[in-house]
Amino acid sequence: MPTLETPYSILNEVVRDVLKRSGKSATAEIELMPFNPSVLGFVRAGQNTIYVNTVPLMGVDQAHVSEYLYVVILHEYLHLLGIADEREVRRITLEMVDEKFGQSSFAHNLSLKLADPRDVMLMDSWKTGKPHTYM
């Protein structure tokens, strides 16, 4: 079980990475607590606290805790910045995690599981140089 020092150092990294990508930032707090295990984390509208669920967190292998927290905190931080759309947040998370950790990482696999299959298909199609588009 990580102390709050780990989540906060990861939050700082997330804030830096998002600022670099989008030019946006916000202040955020982190609170670790147990709740419904099917939810990894959440934010409340109008608040700047990112709640991280300790129940699934405790099941994460120590070697992967940092990448796990990066994915969860990045996701909630994007909501905090005002992106309400769940699918959009999941797509941006996957893109950023791929750039940062690479496609064989734990963070990639976690983000991929959380991403919308339509976006995964689109992103894969860009890689092969035959991009699909929506209509």
> Which residues would be at the binding site for Zn ion (CB under 5 A)?
86
Residue number closest to Zn ion, CB atom = 86
Query: CB-wise, 110 or 132, nearer to Zn ion?
Result: 110
Residue 93 C-beta: closest distance to Zn ion, Å = 9
Q: How far is the C-alpha of 127 from the C-alpha of 135, rounded, in Å?
A: 20
Query: CB-wise, 1 or 118, nearer to Zn ion?
Result: 118
Edge-to-edge order in the sheet of strand 49-53: 29-33, 49-53, 41-43
Residue 75 C-beta: closest distance to Zn ion, Å = 6
CB 53 within 8 A of CB 35: yes
Continuous H helices in the chain? 5-22, 54-58, 65-80, 86-101, 106-114, 117-127
The distance of Cα 4 from the centroid of its chain, to the nearest Å, equals 18
Query: CB-wise, 31 or 86, nearer to Zn ion?
Result: 86
Query: CB-wise, 37 or 102, nearer to Zn ion?
Result: 37
Classify strands 49-53 and 29-33 as parallel, antiparallel or unpaired.
parallel
